[in-house]
Amino acid sequence: MAPQIERDLTSYDRFDSTDGIYKTREAAQRCIQGLTSGERLTEDCLYLDIYAPIEAIESGKQLSVLIYFHGGAFFFGANSLAVTPDKGAFIAATQDVVVVSVNYRLGAFGFLFSEALQSKLADEHGVQYSDSPSSGNQGLMDQQMAMIWVAENAKYFGGNENDITIGGMSAGGQSVHAHMVMESSKNLFHKAIAFSGPQGLPFYNAEEGELITEGIANLVECCEKPILDVAPPKCRNPINEATVACMKNKTAAEINAAAWKLEQFLPIGNFDRLTMIAEPYAPVVNTAMLEEMPFYSFSRGEIHDKPLLVDVSENEGAFFINLMMWGVQCEEDVTVCETNWNWMLEHLLSEEDLKTVTEADFYNCPEDPADECLPQADKFLTDFTWYCNMNKCMKDGFPVATRKFQRRNSDIFLSLTTQILPWQKVVNHGSAEYWFFSRITETNDYDQKDQDYQKQFQNYIANFIRTGSPNGQYGCNLKLIYPSR
C-alpha cells in the first residue's frame, strides 16, 4: 500500500508502516478530478497498483521494475485507467518485470502555486525557503514519494530496488521529462521512458501560477478583496496565509468545482498559450524543485546520465485538433473550420512566427473548399508541440543519428510509432501506450501483422526496462518496426 496524505494543498506525509493486512484485489481509488464524481473518486487516492509474477515473489527473485505515471493533462486520469489489472498482469507475466502504476494529485489539488503556499511548506518542513519543497508541484512530489516507497519495498514483491525505470504517457511523459532534470529525483530511478510527452507545452511560471490560484480563491470566496469583473477572476490582494487557511477549510468538492469553472476562463485574457487550453493545471518552474522548463535542460544536454527512451506517434496532434474542432463538419462548415484553425494559430504563435507559418504552403488549408483543414492542423500541432521541440532539444543537446529508432549519446533512444490502430484513421496521441500494455488477438479488427507488430514493440520496450537498450543486453538487433515517415 502506498503512502497517503491528509487533506492538504501542499506537501505530503509518510504513511506509517503497519502489520495490518490490506485486501488489494481492486484497483486503487482515483484522485478527484474534472466534473466526474462518485465513490471511486477521493482525496485519499495516493495508492499504487502493483503487478508481479507470482514465482518472483515466492522465489525472492529480483526483477526490473517499471513505475508508470498516467496521462490526462495533469487534470484527469488514474493509474487503473492507464494500466488496467489485466494489462498490468499481462506485461508482468509475459515480460518478467514488475509493473507499478501510480496515482498522483491532479488539478488544483496537485498543481496550485503561490508564494504563501511555498512559505507554508518551508515552515512545515523546518527548512529555508530556497531549499523547501515546491508549491505548485505537489503532483510531482507524489510521484517522487511513490519512487521512494517502491525502492524501499521492492524486495517484498519481487522487484529490484536498484533497477527501476520510470515511464509515462502524455502528461505522464512530461513528468518523466521533469524527473530527468530535477535534482531531487536524480537518485530515485535508473532508466526512463516517455510516451507522447509534449516538449512543446510550456509549464507555468510563478506569476501565472499565482493568477490561477487567485482565480480559485476568488471562486471559493477566499479573496479578501475580489475583483469580479475580469476573466479569469482575481484577488485584489496577494494570496496570503489567511487565504490559504480559508481554502484549506473548503470541501474537496468546492475546490474541484472552482478548478473546473476556472478552466473555462483560462484560454482567454492573459492566458493565450496552448498550455492554458490543453493543460489548465501543470507544473510550475522557477521553483526550488523545478528550476526551468525541461526543454531547456534537454537542449543543453544537462539531464541525468540515465538511459532514456522517447516515443512519439506520427499524428500526435490529431486528437487535440478534433477537440478544438468539436461539432464542426469541416467539409460542410469550411468557414467555421478555417476560423478555428486561424484562432488556434493566433493563440499559439508570436506575431513573427505567425507570419512565417501562414506564409508556408506546408500548413495552409487547401484552396478547394470541399477539402478539410484538419490534416494541415494536425501536421502543424504535431510539429509545434512534439516533433520540432523534441528534435531541437535532442539535436542541440546530443549527437543525432538518422534512423527512426535511433540511439543518441550511447543511451538516448528516439522511436516513432507509425502503426495505425484498427479503429483509428491515424496514429494518434499515446498509441505507444496501447501497443505496449494491451493484449490483442487475431479478430476482424486485428490481423497477424498487428499481432507481430505488438509483440516486437513489447519486446523493445521490455528490453529497455530490463537492460537500458531496446535491443537487449547482448546487442542482438531486433527487426526495425518503425518505417520511414
Instruction: Compute the distance between CA of residue 288 and CA of residue 344 in angstroms, rounded to an integer.
Output: 33
Instruction: Compute the distance between CA of residue 209 and CA of residue 110 in angstroms, rounded to an integer.
Output: 12
Query: Domain boundary at 256, 278, 300, which?
Result: 278
Please tell me whether residues 336 and 429 are part of one structural domain.
yes
Per-residue pLDDT of the chain (485 residues; tens, 9 = 90+): 333 334 455 555 566 666 666 667 777 788 988 765 555 777 888 889 999 998 888 888 899 999 999 999 898 888 888 888 888 989 999 999 999 999 999 998 999 888 776 655 545 444 333 344 457 799 999 999 999 999 999 999 999 999 999 999 999 999 999 999 999 999 999 999 999 888 878 888 888 888 888 888 888 888 876 666 665 566 777 788 888 889 888 988 899 888 888 866 654 444 445 556 678 888 998 887 888 989 888 888 888 989 888 888 877 777 776 666 555 555 555 555 566 666 667 666 667 777 777 666 667 666 554 455 667 777 777 777 777 777 776 665 554 332 233 333 336 666 666 666 555 566 777 788 888 888 776 555 677 777 888 888 899 899 999 998 887 654 444 443 333 32
CA 127 to chain centre: 29
> Are 12 and 46 within 8 A, CB to CB?
yes
Please tell me whether residues 340 and 219 are part of one structural domain.
no
Q: Which residue has the cell 472552482?
A: 258
Any domain includes 327:
yes
Please tell me whether residues 447 and 344 are part of one structural domain.
yes
Instruction: Compute the distance between CA of residue 48 and CA of residue 68 in angstroms, rounded to an integer.
Output: 10
Please tell me whether residues 455 and 351 are part of one structural domain.
yes
Instruction: Compute the distance between CA of residue 225 and CA of residue 222 in angstroms, rounded to an integer.
Output: 9
Amino acid occupying residue 421: L
pTM: 0.83
Any domain includes 104:
no
Please tell me whether residues 380 and 447 are part of one structural domain.
yes
Please tell me whether residues 425 and 362 are part of one structural domain.
yes
Any domain includes 368:
yes
Closest by CA position to 100, among listed 43, 59, 158: 158
Any domain includes 123:
no
Please count the structural domains in the chain.
2
Please tell me whether residues 362 and 452 are part of one structural domain.
yes
Please tell me whether residues 342 and 413 are part of one structural domain.
yes
Please tell me whether residues 370 and 248 are part of one structural domain.
no
Please tell me whether residues 346 and 386 are part of one structural domain.
yes
Angle at which helix 115-125 crosses helix 206-219, to 10 degrees, equals: 100
Instruction: Compute the distance between CA of residue 448 and CA of residue 73 in angstroms, rounded to an integer.
Output: 34
Please tell me whether residues 453 and 321 are part of one structural domain.
yes
Catalytic residue set? 170
In DSSP notation, 384-450 reads: IIIIHHHHHHHHHHS----SSSEEETTTEEEEEE-PPPTT-SS--TTHHHHHHH-----SSS--HHH
Q: Which residues of 289-315 are buried (b: 16+ CB within 10 A; e: fewer)?
A: bbeebbbebbbeeebbebbbbbbbbbb
Any domain includes 458:
yes
The H or E element containing residue 45 is none
Any domain includes 444:
yes
Please tell me whether residues 314 and 258 are part of one structural domain.
no
Range of the domain at 265: 206-278
Any domain includes 247:
yes
Any domain includes 340:
yes
Question: Strand 48-51 and strand 41-42: pairing?
Answer: unpaired
> Residue 204 carries which DSSP code?
B
